[in-house]
Structure 1
Amino acid sequence: MHRGSCLCGAVSFRLRSEPKAVSNCHCTMCQKQHGAAFATYASLPKSDLEYLSGQELLTSYHSSGRVVRKFCSVCGSNIEWSGSEKFPDWVSIAVASFDTRFDPKSVKDIHLDSRACWLQRSEGQG
């Protein structure tokens, strides 16, 4: 069972099942929300996500259509997103928020059409 928390520790959670899908999302919304080239998420049924503390501190943002992103209102850590039309009963958890070791068998890169142009540069290139 995996556990996780936000940066300040106010929000904590545990997963009751092993995530089924892991992806590096390169969409511009994930780039902006994380301030990074991509965000890595692990998906599982919503019923298998249990908040242990701080659920009342989560702030929701409707980023597009039915998609709702949740983050800690104290420290700003991204925790989850849900609302996929294809998988309405699933939630995607930010892997970087896990406190336990998570070593997925595979990670899929998605939305590569908006991949950061500087991501593939090797050291020393300008």
Structure 2
Amino acid sequence: MSNASTYQGSCFCGAVQFTVTGEPVAMGYCHCESCRHWSAGPVNAFTLWQPDAVQVTQGADNIGTYHKTENSYRKWCKTCGGHLFSEHPGLGFTDVYAAVIPALNYQPAVHVNYRETVLRIKDGLPKMQDFPAEMGGSGVILPE
């Protein structure tokens, strides 16, 4: 029997529902232009999960997909347009937007793609120029 936590998530209207099980691999904020445009906000709060931790429990046929590049397959509800998650096959993770998992204790640890920021945030967290080196980035940390 597993002691892993399971969190419920859904789109804006509830037509698509899903669970995430366990704990995220990472949590933080992305400042890249793509995430800003997709989220219609100055920053995107992310939670990265192993793909098999994310299970659609209702409305799978109601999920739309868009990929501008092969790096990200962004998923949304075809009924309400509510964003759900992005699959990142090259990284091997699924990014479930923090806002759609209300019971998760969101604890960001890093800002990524901070060189592209349009909203300076002074919160004491590391500000990565792009991504950590282990994820294919430069690993450069920028001053707050």
Check whether TM > 0.5. Answer: yes
Letter in 1 for 2:110: K
- So what's the TM-score if we normalise by structure 1? 0.83
Q: Secondary structure at the match of 1:32?
A: helix
Structure 1 residues without counterparts, runs of 5 or longer: 122-126
- Indicate the RMSD between aligned Cα atoms, in angstroms: 1.6
* % identical aligned pairs: 22
How many residues align structurally?
116
Superposition pairs of residues 45-124 of structure 1, within 5 angstroms: 45-85=50-90, 87-88=91-92, 90-104=93-107, 106-116=108-118, 119-120=119-120
- Alpha-carbon distance between aligned partners in 2 of 1:6 and 1:58, rounded to the nearest angstrom: 10
1:49-83, Cα deviation, whole Å (9 max, x unpaired):
11111111110001212421111111111111113
Letter in 2 for 1:3: Q
Letter in 1 for 2:117: R
1:9 partnered with 2:11: no
- So what's the TM-score if we normalise by structure 2? 0.74
1:87-119, Cα deviation, whole Å (9 max, x unpaired):
23x211001111314232x43101111111xx2
Q: Is the 8 A contact 2:85 2:96 kept in 1?
A: yes
Structure 2 residues without counterparts, runs of 5 or longer: 1-5, 122-144
Q: Secondary structure at the match of 2:28?
A: strand
Cα distance, 1:108–1:84 mapped onto 2, change above 3 Å: farther
Q: Is the 8 A contact 2:98 2:106 kept in 1?
A: no
- Alpha-carbon distance between aligned partners in 1 of 2:46 and 2:103, rounded to the nearest angstrom: 15
- Kindly report structure 1 stretches of 4+ aligned residues shifted beyond 6 Å: none
Q: Is the 8 A contact 2:73 2:86 kept in 1?
A: yes
